[in-house]
Amino acid sequence: MRIGILTAGGDCPGLNAVIRGAGRRLLREGHEPIGLRRGYRGLAHADHMTLDHPALSGLLPMGGTILSTSSYDPFRHDDGPQRVRDAMARKDVDAVIAIGGEHTMEITRELHAQLDLPVVGVPKTIDNDIVGTDRTFGFDTAVHVATEAIDRLHSTAQSHDRVMVVEVMGRNAGWIAVMAGIAGGADGILVPEVDVTVEELAANIRRRHDRGKDFSIIVVSEGARLAFADGSSRKVRASDDTDEYGYERLGGIGAALAKELEEATGYETRVVVLGHIQRGGTPTASDRILATRYGVAAADAVLDGAFGTMVALDGSEITRIPLSDVVGVKPVDLRLLELAKTFF
């Protein structure tokens, strides 16, 4: 069999480890893995890449994806579905392993349902918010990078008696904020799932000062809302804002929150937006292992003919779940947020 492997959506530490895992398993079983470049675009436009032993060598510690990625969706192009049908008719590939996030799993589900594409999904997001799996690769790396940054910011906060606001990734779910917040010893955490008012955060910060702690670290998800005691709240998104020259701005919720906290507490407040460094670079050992397990399991699922499924982690076990179950967003475990509050 010739099996196409593709990566779609935002890049994520561990993508190359999945490609290697699936590719090496397929080679070992006597099959031919090939790379489809730039997500489903590579399938639709027959943009292929050899995945032999040399091509699969050295990938484990490497960030990004050697297959490149895009958010190409065949259903959004008039000729997309037909191109996919043609690729299958031409026997470009006998099956596909699609590594991607929620949106990619949606496309994958429809390609399987509507076009009968023989496909297995691998869940990918640094946000850890894909339904049906306990953990996604890339998440541990993002938490690791964010925690290292918080460690570094602690000394600045402490030396200057400052409040530091750290904006981390997480548009729809607060996993990175909560986990990095616990690991970094945050004094306040703001996530998309739960509104916490500026007044509550400010009260915590003042309480710390009264106990002799002149500095505080607040971690906030990019998708969190700015809420106030009067019941008002709103999203603050960087992309909404441009300056007089039309320049896009960083500093959505993080910058807004810093401003409000400085006003509410009277303490000097600074903001750091971690941004893309959370999603690039070498994966942690833990993410390399999970990505390798997913890659090998996806190859096995293809060899078993278990199409229309996504590999997933359930406790310590790798399982397969129907793509039709992968719908919506997995919110952060609120018990972890409760745990974090022990230390506010």
Binding positions: 102, 125-127, 162, 169-171, 222, 270, 276-279
Which residues from 64-83 bind its own copies, rule CB under 8 A? 64-65, 68-70
Q: Which is nearer to its own copies, 209 or 270 (CB)?
A: 270
Residue 124 near its own copies by CB under 8 A: no
- The minimum distance between CB 143 and its own copies, in angstroms, equals 5
Distance CA 251, CA 241 (A): 9
Q: Which is nearer to its own copies, 115 or 303 (CB)?
A: 303
Distance CA 209, CA 206 (A): 5
Angle between helical axes of 285-303 and 139-160 (0-180°, round to 10): 160
Closest C-alpha among 194, 195, 218 to residue 205: 218
Which residues from 137-196 bind its own copies, rule CB under 8 A? 140, 143-149, 151-156, 158-161, 164, 179-180, 182-185
- The minimum distance between CB 86 and its own copies, in angstroms, equals 25
> Of 4, 25, 120, 175, which one interacts with its own copies (CB under 8 A)?
25
Cross-strand pairs, 225: 235
CA angle 103, 108, 110 (to 5 degrees): 100
Residue 334 near its own copies by CB under 8 A: no
Which residues from 34-53 bind its own copies, rule CB under 8 A? 53
Angle between helical axes of 80-89 and 102-115 (0-180°, round to 10): 60
- The minimum distance between CB 222 and its own copies, in angstroms, equals 13
Distance CA 291, CA 22 (A): 10
> Of 4, 21, 35, 132, which one interacts with its own copies (CB under 8 A)?
21
* Residue 127 appears among annotated catalytic residues: yes
Q: Which is nearer to its own copies, 86 or 314 (CB)?
A: 314
Distance CA 184, CA 148 (A): 8
Q: How many CB atoms lie within 10 A of CB 149?
A: 18
Q: How many CB atoms lie within 10 A of CB 257?
A: 25
Question: Rounded to 5 degrees, what are φ and ψ at 311?
Answer: -75, 150
Out of 11, 73, 92, 127, which one is annotated catalytic? 127
Q: Which is nearer to its own copies, 81 or 281 (CB)?
A: 281
Q: Which is nearer to its own copies, 117 or 189 (CB)?
A: 189
Distance CA 95, CA 115 (A): 13
- The minimum distance between CB 205 and its own copies, in angstroms, equals 16
Residue 103 near its own copies by CB under 8 A: no
Q: Which is nearer to its own copies, 108 or 133 (CB)?
A: 133
Distance CA 215, CA 208 (A): 8
Structure tokens at 250: 């960083």
Of the chain, the end-to-end C-alpha distance in Å amounts to 56
Residue 90 near its own copies by CB under 8 A: no
Residue 272 near its own copies by CB under 8 A: yes
Which residues from 217-236 bind its own copies, rule CB under 8 A? 236
Which residue stretch of 21-29, 101-109, 114-122, 302-310 sits at the interface with its own copies (rule: CB under 8 A)? 21-29
- The minimum distance between CB 131 and its own copies, in angstroms, equals 14
Report DSSP state, residue 252.
S
Compute how many residues bind its own copies; rule: CB under 8 A.
90
Question: Rounded to 5 degrees, what are φ and ψ at 138?
Answer: 100, -30
Contact of 236 with 256, CB cutoff 8 Å: yes
Contact of 76 with 68, CB cutoff 8 Å: no
Annotated binding-site members for Mg(2+): 102
Catalytic (active-site) positions: 127
